[in-house]
Structure 1
Amino acid sequence: MDNDKSYKEYLENITTFIFDVDGVLTDGTITVTTNGEMLRRMNIKDGFALKTAVDQGFNVCIISGGSNEGVRKRLRGLGITDIYLGAHHKVDQLDEYLDIYNIKPEQVLYMGDDIPDLPVMKIIGLPCCPQDAVPEIKAVSKYISHKNGGKGAVRDVIEQVLKVHGKWNKNFDAKHD
């Protein structure tokens, strides 16, 4: 991507990750069972990166229009406590979250993939998206991952930020030295 230098300048200021779910943490497909339950698939490598970010002291928040409680359970299992599901006006949840934790918008990396993410992405410091995001989201993103949603895009951005901060695999490297 041509903007490599510009987006990399933001990485050291990032203290907070905020992610959408469908199309970012998942590939955007839903399997509907015969009883109407909607199943999603999440990438285990994205999960590892999310847990690592939490363990290394970064703020991690989820803001999603979806309201699947299975998603909440999975994310809580990774140590994420700030989970806004059923969010149809995501800026409201963003404002609340930033206010609660006294976070400045320029400290936030947000990854979204579709039109409902657009208002939030225009506010925060580092708007990002998966490779398969819609054109409107790509147009406002300072970084477009080479990975698709649900296929490692979340891991991609978390790993880059944590490496800049010297916190990627910190606990694992120490055990093998």
Structure 2
Amino acid sequence: MEKSYKELMPYIDTFIFDVDGVLTDGIVNVFTNGELVRNMNIKDGYALKTAVDAGYRVCIISGGKNEGVRERLKGLGVTDIYLGAHNKIEQFEEYCDIYDINKQGILYMGDDIPDYWVMKEVGLPACPKDAAPEIQDVSKYISQKKGGKGCVRDVIEQVMKVQGKWHQNYSAKFD
């Protein structure tokens, strides 16, 4: 019998996320100078920083090449950022090899066909509410939040709560 996503969460030590459609709503504004601008959810950013600070491995694998995205993520403490990844399985395998990662301990959140093959390899494939049907079919968890609207915070917070790491010292800081 296949385990539920809640039964898999205690074993997650690595988060991997796509950008467009996961960390953003998938809408790209194009300015007359050719600059592409994406919107990211501040609560997703907070959760990424919290996960990094708690010692989780966090990686980004995106087909997009926007250096502003890289700078935003680096500012949150994310150091493993693969941009321009058109065959995501290659960057995924490289990342797993570098850190000798057990793939069953990975939560990968994607939203569209380029994420499919990576999601087939991980312990906990997840997606936002508005992901492509093929991605929803392969996901063990579908967030109730849309891409760019808190789905990243949703999965990080759930994993960290299950593991007792979501602000475990929160109350002590305010006593």
Residue 147 of structure 2 is aligned with which of 133, 146, 149? 149
Q: Please give the per-residue CA displacement for 1:9-45, whole angstroms capped at 9, x wherever unaligned.
A: 1000000000000000000000000101000000000
The SS at the match of 1:83 is: strand
Please tell me the residue identity of whatever aligns with 1:19.
Answer: F
Q: CA RMSD in A?
A: 1.1
Residue 105 of structure 2 is aligned with which of 104, 107, 118? 107
Identity of aligned residues (%): 70
**CA-CA distance at 1:170 after TM superposition:** 2.5
Q: Please give the per-residue CA displacement for 1:113-169, whole angstroms capped at 9, x wherever unaligned.
A: 000000100011100000000000000000000000000000000000000111101
**CA-CA distance at 1:172 after TM superposition:** 2.9
**CA-CA distance at 1:173 after TM superposition:** 2.7
TM-score, normalised on structure 1? Answer: 0.96
Please tell me the residue identity of whatever aligns with 2:45.
Answer: G
The 1-side partners of 2:170 and 2:35 are apart by 38
**CA-CA distance at 1:56 after TM superposition:** 0.2
**CA-CA distance at 1:171 after TM superposition:** 4.1
Superposition pairs for residues 67-86 of structure 1, below 5 Å? Answer: 67-86=65-84
Runs of 4+ in 1 over 6 A off after TM superposition: none
TM-score, normalised on structure 2? Answer: 0.97
5+ residue gaps, structure 1, are none
The residue aligned with 1:58 is: 56
Please tell me the residue identity of whatever aligns with 1:128.
Answer: A
The residue aligned with 1:94 is: 92
The residue aligned with 1:129 is: 127
Q: Please give the per-residue CA displacement for 1:70-96, whole angstroms capped at 9, x wherever unaligned.
A: 000000000000000000111111111
Please tell me the residue identity of whatever aligns with 1:148.
Answer: K
The SS at the match of 2:51 is: helix
Q: Say which is worse superposed, 85-94 or 69-78, in terms of deviation.
A: 85-94
Q: Say which is worse superposed, 73-82 or 161-170, in terms of deviation.
A: 161-170
The 2-side partners of 1:12 and 1:171 are apart by 19
Please tell me the residue identity of whatever aligns with 1:144.
Answer: I
The 2-side partners of 1:29 and 1:118 are apart by 21
The SS at the match of 2:170 is: helix
Residue 46 of structure 1 is aligned with which of 38, 41, 44? 44
Residue 164 of structure 2 is aligned with which of 135, 153, 166? 166
Structure 1 residues 105 and 151: CA distance shift in structure 2, 3 A: same
